[in-house]
Amino acid sequence: MNNSESTASLIQAFQGAGQGQVFRYFDELDGDGQAQLLAQAATIDLAEVDALVAEHINGEHSSSVDLDGLTPAPYTALPANGGDQAQWDAAVEAGSAAITAGRVAAFTVAGGQGTRLGYDGPKGTYPVTPVSQKTLFQVFAEKIARSGERFGVTIPWFILTSEINNDATVAAFKESDFFGINADSVHFIMQGLVPAVDYSGKILLAEKSKIAMTPDGHGGSLRALVRSGAVAKMEELGVDCVSYFQVDNPIIQCIDPAFIGFHVLGQSELSSKMVPKAYALEKVGHFCMQDDAALVVEYSDMPDAMQEQTNADGSIRFNGGSVAIHIFDRAFIARAGSTTSDLQLPFHRADKKIPYVGADGVIVTPEAANGVKFEMFVFDALPLAKNPVIIEAAREDDFSPVKNAEGVDSPKSCKRDQLRMFVRWLRAAGEEIETDESGVPSTWFEICHLFAADEADFVAQWAALADRPAIVEGLIIE
């Protein structure tokens, strides 16, 4: 097929699918504009759009979740909260063996748009540490490098980007010389985009030469891993445990031996960390069971009365908060991310204000929601997984995301959480330091993650130091 034939057949396919409006202004565009529109249109799976419109726009689809028979999901408690210390020790041992054997990769999802933070650039390039203002990507790079050094391996790092931020992300890594880690061990994967539609199910144009498209959600990471060849690369490297975390959470233990150990020992396809909810109506997903399958039910899908239910001892019944920290089995990703498999993540509908090119060719910025974006959520993989394992994590050791510019989950709250964590590590190593009543030190200092990736690592590293520095304002322990 020559160029003009393939252009004609693409336009015909859109017309045949009732989406011919995408090419309404095609004849007005210059060569570049036409090429851009055609290239974008060629990435769209019209059958998928058709199915989404049939289900979410024209269908009877209701977003409400079936709450029948929902019970709290069981989990393995931390030793500090009644868990069995010997079981945790065995998990650390099994996890350490898996890391040493090169079976573990890190996987950061960084394809989101980060609109709430209002930062112009990929979120991973946002400075987060309290003293040296290292970026999120640098924090992860240092933790992954240190874990590799500790276990004598190079830990591959897969990073999900989207078309919207991929170039800027790759450029940031190059400018920083990959934060000192081997560039060959870092793999960027672009997630897919899905077109936005209006309430008649018609694909919207953002500009005359540009379709309104958004990333397909963190759930899209699974099919991106398959499509990009990353899963095949993992297999070639001997990796079968994929440590999944979000780009906005610098507190995360990127490579956690205990978590990996529970995953391996449980022969789990998908393991998750839960943190007890801070209060009954905290806006997190809830780990639940239904018909013998584990699942996450979003706070928005669970009635307040249910979120507030208590056990006989007064504790919160649905207490397991989801913090988007998982270990995936590689073969499970291959199945859940393949377009031909029976395991498919569902799309969710989000009603949004979507700027679009109106009938007169002028861009309209709507005041109210005028259309729908479609996203997949990674936790929807949970009911599809065999032997799901859920372990408890201490919030302060694993979760302090940077989501908002101010207030809760902001750069300020995250810096304070990092400072509190550094204090706990120092105290665990036998040092004393003055803090306010919330645990923030009066002297701000930082622990470089090339020195220690987690508390146990810090305690060992500190003990081995010949010259221990005095904790003074601005100190970086490295």
For 43-53, b/e burial (b = at least 16 CB within 10 A) is: ebebebbeebb
Among 195, 201, 217, 383, binds ligand UTP (CB under 6 A): 217
Tell me whether residue 316 or residue 323 sits nearer to ligand UTP (CB atom). Answer: 323
Are 169 and 158 spatial neighbours (Cβ–Cβ below 8 Å)? Answer: no
Q: Which of 242, 247, 323, 389 binds ligand UTP (CB under 6 A)?
A: 247
CB of 74 to ligand UTP, least distance (A): 26
To ligand UTP, the closest distance from the beta carbon of 123 in angstroms equals 6
CB of 212 to ligand UTP, least distance (A): 15
CB-wise, 95 or 112, nearer to ligand UTP? Answer: 112
Q: What letter would DSSP give residue 27?
A: G
CA 218, chain centre distance (Å):
6
- Closest CB to ligand UTP among residues 7, 162: 162
Beta carbon of residue 348, minimum distance to ligand UTP (angstroms, whole number) = 11
Q: Using CB under 6 A, which residues numbered 180 to 209 contact ligand UTP? A: 191
Q: How far apart are CA 329 and CA 322, in angstroms?
A: 19
4 is written with which tokens? 């003009």
Does residue 248 bind ligand UTP (CB under 6 A)? yes
* Smallest gap from residue 262 Cβ to ligand UTP (A): 23
Q: With contacts defined by CB under 6 A, how many residues of the chain interact with ligand UTP?
A: 20
Residue 133 dihedral angles phi and psi, to the nearest 5°:
55, 40
When the beta carbons of 220 and 411 are compared against ligand UTP, the nearer one is: 220
Chain centre to alpha carbon of residue 91: 24
Nearer to ligand UTP, 109 or 205 (CB): 109
Rounded to a whole number of angstroms, the minimum distance from the CB of residue 109 to ligand UTP is 4
Who contacts 361 (Cβ-Cβ below 8 Å, separation ≥6)? 25, 208
Number of H helices, E strands in the chain: 14, 21
User: In DSSP terms, which residues pair with 207 in a beta bridge?
Assistant: 210
The residues, any chain, with a CB within 8 Å of residue 4's CB and separated by 6 or more, are none
How far apart are the C-alpha atoms of 427 and 191, rounded to whole Å? 42
Stretch that binds ligand UTP, among 70-78, 177-185, 241-249, 445-453 (CB under 6 A): 241-249
**The one segment of 61-69, 212-220, 292-300, 415-423 that binds ligand UTP by CB under 6 A:** 212-220
Q: Are 151 and 256 in contact (CB under 8 A)?
A: no
Smaller CB separation from ligand UTP, 52 or 99: 52
Helix, strand, or coil (residue 239):
coil
Instruction: List the x/- string, 321-360, binding to ligand UTP by CB under 6 A.
Output: ----------------------------------------
Nearest CB to ligand UTP, comparing residues 249 and 418: 249
Least Å from the CB of residue 224 to ligand UTP = 9
Which of 473, 421, 472, 412 shows the shortest CA–CA distance to 449? 421
Find the binder of ligand UTP among 95, 102, 215, 285 (CB under 6 A). 215
The span of 210-218, 290-298, 363-371, 459-467 binding ligand UTP (CB under 6 A) equals 210-218
Site string for ligand UTP, 96-135 (x = CB under 6 A): -------------xxxxxxxx------x------------
Element (H, E) at 270: strand 270-276
- Distance set, CA 447 to CA 345, 395, 471 (Å): 39, 19, 11
Q: In the 8-state DSSP scheme, what is residue 310?
A: B
Which residue lies nearest ligand UTP, judged by its C-beta? 112
Shortest Å distance, C-beta 108 to ligand UTP: 7
Q: Could you give the CA distance from residue 183 to residue 174 in angstroms, rounded to a whole number?
A: 9
By CB under 6 A, the residues from 396 to 425 that bind ligand UTP are 403
Tokens coding 324: 């988007």
- Of 160 and 385, the one with the shorter C-beta distance to ligand UTP is 160
Stretch that binds ligand UTP, among 66-74, 215-223, 256-264, 458-466 (CB under 6 A): 215-223
DSSP secondary structure string for all residues of 81-144:
GT--HHHHHHHHHHHHHHHHTT-EEEEEE--S--TTTT-SS-GGGSB--TTT--BHHHHHHHHH
Is 218 near ligand UTP (CB under 6 A)? yes
Q: Which two tokens stand for residue 41?
A: 């249109």
Binding site for ligand UTP (CB under 6 A): 109-116, 123, 160, 191, 215-218, 220, 246-248, 403
